[in-house]
Chain A
């Protein structure tokens, strides 16, 4: 069992009791909710005549179903309107703060928590959403939970959990030009597998991680769950503190920052912490990674050949064969030149300001390929406003991208933004599952935001490093 890690310390700090099941009852410092997974939980509370115990520790947003084009109410999609109305009623009755679209603070739950300063080191954070692991970038312990657990958290502000092992993933060296945080995590999942993290939380460390900005760390922690890990985190450091200082929470209350900093420092993993497993990856050897299949673990470097299913582990062959058939790719080829119909720049993995900036730098002075429909969906209203203040919207629009309102959008196709038929999509999101982007024949290729920009202008999967006159790095 691990000892002296951030995970051990935060776990200890939040333990309320040991349950008869052997699980631990953990106090939840921040509960984030959205419209898809919370209504049933509120329904269950009502059935049991229970109230929300700590509404002040809960924060709501709307992201999955929100239209990203016309947002006037009632929403054109009746089901979306019903879900939104239900959330509005639930948060009003319970007295829960709600970053709804009229506030200018709305956005994808894993984008708004950090930008409002709700996400802090050493907090336990839960949300009925698997990508809650994102918040671990700040040294929080953040887990996705199911709806029955949301009910538990609403009713008790605690959750029943089993302690996991801790695997340290050390990414050494400096990333090469054109290589990003997204490539690190796609490589981690490729190497360790989509179920390699089952039973673990991941601690990301090493030079390549420590030199990343907070947004990069969030991209990595975000996809921990795609590797099967229950959570992922990075120890808080100066980069973390600089970000926190600029948030609503601390800008106006700098004394609060100083008050909390000793706690944040105290929960960092000790230098002599013990881990259950350690994996080292040489970051300087990485290339931009793209997926060729239908799980996020089916990735390869842009110059590498698509694997022959027979060359893979026995339990991966069948999935690989089906994936290659679905994607219509041939073993031995690289993904370069794979034609795309759609380019989607968005999602809680890669729709923050620096992501959009890097993609805009690739797009500037170029045009979206004639056969491609391309869209940018900023992660939050604040990201959108900040990008517009820099003129990024004009760069994208001039190139032929659609510039949308904030939401999950085509990451999962629950609103009107969906793939049609067997369209292929270069996507900065996190899941390439069959049907994920709204069409069951749709084909998703995951990649970093600059690679999405390159695919949009070339009409095919392209190594962004080969595009002339682009300042990569």
Chain B
């Protein structure tokens, strides 16, 4: 692989708040939209069942509001992305336009899937998130600066202390979040492992 993996020290953009705890990946992208063999075009199905009723009429949802259409920072609450391991979920969000997610907590597989796409999942406490979400509602055009390096989120003159998992911070800021090439370079050590394990016949 020759492509340079970009270093992601921070993300800046306008926000979109999606409130609620335990928003599972079935909500982020319902299973019926996963009957595809590529991730292209998943963006329009992000949060589909929360955004549209049976007759495909729009419901109240931040992803439907014109003010948030160019948002790139998603602000969520606790245990976001729980449930299925489908990478289709962060893929759909990314293809909708999301480059960073700030929330109270994330399900682990979801956070790992985000990292594999270079999307930071940054955590802060309940009150800080609630304030951020309220501010976004009032300032849909306001810029939010998610700094992975310094673990802060800055908006409208406020700076909140956030947390970025250590491995995630290093992976993003040092541009090693795409692990394929990195791990491929250890092929000899992998082959040693493969032969030393008692159960492998390789």
Q: A residues engaging B (CB < 8 A)?
A: 13-14, 16-17, 19-23, 25, 27, 29, 36-37, 39-40, 43, 48, 50, 53-54, 56-57, 64-65, 77, 79-80, 82-83, 86, 120, 122-123, 128-130, 144-149, 151-152, 155-158, 160, 162, 194-195, 198-199, 225-226, 228, 230, 259-260, 263, 295, 315-316, 318-319, 322, 412-414, 431, 433-436, 438, 440
Q: Which of B26, B31, B32 has the most CB of A within 10 A?
A: B31
- The contact size tier of chain B is 35 or more
Cβ contacts under 8 Å, B174 to chain A: 20-21
B158 within 8 A of partner (CB): no
With A228-B107, A319-B21 already in contact, the answer to whether A259 and B194 are too (CB < 8 A) is no
Closest-by-CB residue of B relative to A124 is B197
Cβ contacts under 8 Å, B84 to chain A: 130, 412, 431
Contact A228 B166 (CB under 8 A): no
With A130-B84, A433-B24 already in contact, the answer to whether A146 and B190 are too (CB < 8 A) is no
With A130-B83, A316-B21 already in contact, the answer to whether A16 and B167 are too (CB < 8 A) is no
With A29-B199, A146-B116, A433-B27 already in contact, the answer to whether A14 and B87 are too (CB < 8 A) is no
Contact B85 A128 (CB under 8 A): yes
Cβ contacts under 8 Å, A23 to chain B: 167, 171, 179
Q: B residues engaging A (CB < 8 A)?
A: 1, 20-22, 24, 26-27, 30-32, 34-39, 49, 78-79, 82-88, 90-91, 105, 107-109, 112-113, 116-117, 126, 165-168, 170-171, 174, 176-180, 182-184, 186-187, 189-190, 193-194, 197-202
Q: How many A-B residue pairs have CB under 8 A?
A: 209
Contact B167 A123 (CB under 8 A): no
Contact A315 B126 (CB under 8 A): yes
Task: For the complex formed, measure the closest distance between the CB of A146 and the CB atoms of chain B, giving whole angstroms.
Answer: 4
Contact B38 A79 (CB under 8 A): no
Contact A79 B85 (CB under 8 A): no
Cβ contacts under 8 Å, A13 to chain B: 197
The residue that A19 contacts in the complex, of B36, B91, B179, with Cβ under 8 A, is B179
A-B contact pairs, 5 of them (CB 8 A): A21-B174, A21-B177, A48-B180, A146-B86, A295-B22
Cβ contacts under 8 Å, A433 to chain B: 24, 26-27, 83
The residue that B190 contacts in the complex, of A43, A156, A435, with Cβ under 8 A, is A156
Contact B27 A17 (CB under 8 A): no
Contact A157 B105 (CB under 8 A): no
Contact B190 A158 (CB under 8 A): yes
Cβ contacts under 8 Å, A25 to chain B: 179, 183, 186
With A146-B85, A195-B78, A259-B198 already in contact, the answer to whether A19 and B35 are too (CB < 8 A) is no
